């Protein structure tokens, strides 16, 4: 089984901005059921279809497949709930880990969240100075929930 072990944090300040360049992401959800989410994503000129299981602690099953960008765009246009998630993703290496910082746009403008994938749930991590409050267990920060309850409505 493919598994994702991930922790999420709010980001504070702007010192992280000089450490990386961002890539534009557009993604939507075909399903956001409790037991599984089905996501379509476009990054650059590549499409992806991802299925994620329910989270237990920091871990959930994850299956991701490359698909033609034309198929991804058609799915985003016709199958996905609105609003779509629009964001810039920045990748920063720190403490032998890869941090991904998502700066949201559109109806989630103003929200900036950092994620780090781990090899196991007990892995110790060194937090960069730009990391704020941990929100790993707060479902309102899940991208799939930002479609239903955008940051601009909080």
Q: What is the CATH number of domain 3-153?
A: 2.40.320.10
Q: pLDDT tens digits, the chain, 154 residues: what are they? A: 588 899 999 999 999 999 999 999 999 999 998 889 999 999 999 999 999 988 778 888 999 999 999 999 999 999 999 999 999 999 999 999 999 999 999 999 999 999 999 999 999 999 999 999 999 999 999 999 999 999 999 9
Question: DSSP states of 50-112 as a string?
Answer: EEEE--BTTEEEEEEEEE-HHHHHHHHHHTS-SSPEEEEEEEEEETTEEEEEEEE-GGGTT-E
112-142 confidence digits (pLDDT tens)? 999 999 999 999 999 999 999 999 999 999 9
Interatomic CA distance for residues 35 and 55, integer angstroms: 9
Asked about 65 being catalytic, the answer comes back as: no
Q: What is the CA radius of gyration of the chain?
A: 15
25, 29, 90, 94: which one is catalytic?
Answer: 29
pLDDT at res. 1: 55
pLDDT at res. 135: 98
Q: Mention every residue, 6+ apart, whose C-beta is less than 8 A from residue 56.
A: none
Cα 137 to the chain's mean position, in Å?
14
132: which DSSP letter?
E
């Amino acid at each position: 089984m493919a598994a994702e072990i991930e922790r999420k944090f709010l980001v504070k300040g702007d010192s992280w901005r000089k450490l990386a360049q961002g890539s534009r992401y557009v993604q939507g959800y075909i399903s956001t059921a409790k037991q599984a989410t089905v996501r379509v994503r476009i990054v650059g000129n590549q499409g992806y279809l991802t299925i994620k299981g329910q989270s237990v602690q920091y871990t959930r099953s994850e299956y991701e497949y490359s698909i033609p960008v034309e198929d991804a765009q058609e799915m985003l246009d016709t199958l996905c709930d609105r609003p779509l998630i629009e964001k810039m993703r920045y990748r920063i290496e720190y403490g032998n880990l890869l941090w991904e910082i998502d700066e949201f746009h559109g109806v989630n403008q103003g929200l900036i969240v950092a994620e780090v994938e781990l090899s196991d749930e007990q892995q110790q991590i060194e937090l960069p100075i730009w990391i704020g409050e941990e929100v790993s267990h707060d479902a309102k920060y899940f991208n799939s929930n930002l479609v239903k309850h955008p940051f601009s409505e909080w």
